[in-house]
């Protein structure tokens, strides 16, 4: 009955379904009214060989080579990967390991480019006639241009843009939610480049053959809703629905957005396409448009540079590889004492210990906040009073306090039973915890430990099989030898080919 009412209300008033839990966060969108500006060119660009989810790339250039903006400088290895392109013209000065934005502070091989300032660029052939082209051809173009999801997950875009006989995409959802506090990247893109985003949506829809298309925007961005509605009409795509969602974190998370719009859940371990949905960020849609229509690879992105400690916050178009230190200095932030720098948003982003890391495809925001503001999360962890607020806000419907107990006590099998791996690390539980328990931190710890345990279990299993196979082989050889000897003794006949069979088996 409730499902029926929901369906009815949705059909009548286009009311979204909503998702479980979530929190109302202080928006702090300081840069919402600031137009996108170009960031100055850094004297050196540091391009990591992995800026996506998947396998790292292999450099195609050598030290001393001259490269143009848009030139492919690293080749994707494997299927889940995206190539890297030079983000400015100039000279390759070195290829070596450098720190990247990663919780472990780990390093990756990076290509260092010294820009010459000429801005010589290299693009692929512009395709004005994309509508006549084969979806497979467009997909290859998007793969070659190094596109990844720009909402923050950086999953290679081409993989999702596929026509599958078994799982047809019925609904394309364009994600313009941007629910993280401070961040205004997608908001500004929708205001300033609505036509390009809508054109990108048209290309995506053409590729996957979706019947329905929805652009989802939260009601804290009424101007973006208005602009997108106009752009949709101007593009002659009246059947594209621009849906206003009530503002609630983490609505921009793919699974939660799909639930809020379609009322359906993505089954565990499956992809959205299994329920006929494709979700793309508005920035990705714009990048799709540039890649297809103008042949332009992904070499830059819009980043919100914000936070109370930034003298001149803004929305900047930044070439990949620009060091974070250079970006912040450009906005008047030089003295970094008692200031926390966050890569991403305050709910899911990661605090940078080293700001010489480069801006990459995943960088949707760079925040600088004065230290005292962060103190609440650093105030010492109090015992859990089991108030249950964490379960109330969990969008995945976990029971975070019990789950954290299991992780803290190293009861990982139990944690897995409590569906640890379904945690999306949105941070709602930690945000509301009156005991300031860093729940998400415990979940990351548990996931890491479990991954380690699985690896060593797999290794042990492999060793066991190998040692068993060896024992069997030795046993067979012994028997074969004994048989041969007895035969030789008895009949003086030559050995039979059964030996060869045994050897053949053990190799297989």
Residues that bind other proteins (CB under 8 A): 20, 23, 25-26, 103, 181, 255, 259, 264-270, 275, 340, 342, 344, 346-351, 369, 373-374, 376-378, 382-389, 391-392, 395-399, 401-402, 418-419, 422, 425, 427, 430-436, 438, 440-441, 444
Of the two residues 109 and 276, which places its CB atom closer to other proteins in the complex? 276
Q: How far is the CB of 477 from other proteins (least distance, A)?
A: 50
Q: Which of 300, 253, 318, 319 is nearest to 281 (CA)?
A: 253
Give whichever of 25 and 273 is closer to other proteins, judged by the CB atom. Answer: 25
Q: Are 433 and 389 in contact (CB under 8 A)?
A: yes
- Name the residue with tokens 């859990």: 384
Smallest separation, CB 424 to other proteins (Å):
9
The least distance separating other proteins from the CB of residue 461, rounded to whole angstroms, comes to 27
CA distances from 161 to 277, 365, 418 (A): 11, 26, 33
Give whichever of 122 and 425 is closer to other proteins, judged by the CB atom: 425
Q: What is the dihedral of CA 112, 115, 121, 124, to 10 degrees?
A: 10
| In the complex, least distance from residue 427 CB atom to other proteins, rounded to whole angstroms | 3
Enter the tokens of residue 390. 């964490």
Task: Tell me the C-alpha distance between 500 and 503, whole Å.
Answer: 5
Least distance (Å) from other proteins to the CB of residue 503? 49
First-to-last C-alpha distance (Å) of the chain = 58
Cβ proximity of 165 and 101 under 8 Å: no
Measured from the CB atom, the residue of 147 and 440 that comes closer to other proteins is 440
Alpha-helical segments (H) within 62-193: 135-144, 157-160, 185-192
Smallest gap from residue 69 Cβ to other proteins (A): 33
* Cβ-based neighbour number of residue 64 at 10 Å: 9
Residues 316, 306 contacting (CB under 8 angstroms): no
Residue 413: C-alpha distances to residues 259, 384, 398, 463 (Å)? 29, 22, 16, 23
Give the shortest CB-335-to-other proteins separation in angstroms. Answer: 20
Q: Which is nearer to other proteins, 195 or 265 (CB)?
A: 265
DSSP-derived 3-state class of residue 361: coil
**326 vs 442, which CB is nearer to other proteins?**
442
Nearer to other proteins, 270 or 312 (CB): 270
């Amino acid at each position: 009955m409730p499902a029926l009412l929901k369906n009815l209300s949705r059909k009548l008033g286009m009311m979204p379904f909503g998702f479980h839990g979530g929190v109302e966060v202080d928006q702090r969108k300081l840069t919402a009214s600031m137009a996108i500006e170009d960031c100055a060119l850094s004297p050196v660009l540091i391009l990591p060989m992995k800026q996506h989810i998947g396998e790292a790339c292999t450099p195609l250039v050598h030290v001393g080579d001259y490269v143009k903006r848009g030139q492919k400088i690293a080749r994707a290895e494997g299927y889940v990967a995206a190539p890297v392109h030079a983000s400015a013209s100039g000279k390759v000065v070195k290829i070596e390991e450098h720190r990247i934005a990663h919780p472990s502070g780990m390093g990756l091989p990076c290509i260092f480019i010294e820009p010459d300032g000429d801005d010589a660029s290299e693009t692929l052939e512009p395709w004005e006639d994309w509508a006549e082209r084969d979806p497979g051809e467009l997909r290859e173009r998007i793969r070659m241009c190094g596109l990844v999801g720009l909402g923050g997950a950086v999953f290679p875009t081409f993989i999702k843009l596929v026509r599958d006989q078994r799982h047809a995409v019925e609904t394309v959802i364009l994600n313009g939610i941007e629910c993280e506090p401070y961040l205004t990247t997608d908001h500004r893109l929708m205001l300033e480049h609505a036509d390009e985003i809508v054109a990108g949506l048209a290309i995506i829809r053409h590729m996957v053959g979706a019947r329905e298309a929805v652009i989802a925007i939260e009601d804290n961005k009424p101007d973006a809703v208005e602009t997108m509605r106009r752009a949709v009409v101007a593009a002659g795509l009246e059947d594209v629905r621009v849906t206003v969602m009530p503002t609630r974190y983490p609505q921009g998370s793919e699974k939660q957005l799909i639930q809020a719009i379609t009322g359906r859940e993505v089954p565990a371990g499956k992809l959205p396409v299994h329920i006929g949905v494709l979700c793309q960020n508005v920035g990705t849609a714009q990048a799709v448009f540039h890649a297809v229509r103008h042949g332009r690879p992904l070499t830059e992105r819009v980043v919100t540079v914000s936070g109370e400690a930034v003298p001149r916050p803004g929305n900047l178009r930044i070439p990949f590889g620009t060091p974070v230190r250079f970006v912040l200095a450009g906005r008047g932030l030089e003295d970094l004492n008692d200031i926390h720098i966050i890569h991403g948003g305050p709910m899911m982003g990661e605090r940078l210990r080293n700001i010489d890391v480069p801006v990459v495809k995943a960088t949707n925001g760079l925040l600088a906040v004065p230290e005292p503001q962060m103190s609440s999360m650093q105030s010492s962890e109090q015992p859990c009073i089991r108030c249950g607020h964490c379960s109330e806000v969990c969008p995945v419907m976990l029971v975070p306090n019990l789950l954290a107990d299991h992780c803290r006590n190293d009861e990982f099998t139990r944690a897995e039973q409590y569906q640890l791996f379904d945690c999306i690390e949105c941070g709602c539980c930690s945000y509301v915890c009156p005991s300031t328990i860093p729940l998400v931190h415990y979940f990351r710890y548990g996931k890491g430990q479990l991954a380690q345990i699985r690896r060593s279990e797999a290794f042990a299993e492999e060793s066991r099989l190998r040692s068993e196979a060896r024992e069997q082989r030795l046993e067979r050889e012994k028997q074969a030898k004994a048989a041969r000897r007895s035969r030789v003794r008895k009949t003086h006949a030559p050995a039979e080919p059964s030996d060869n069979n045994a050897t053949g088996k053990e190799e297989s």
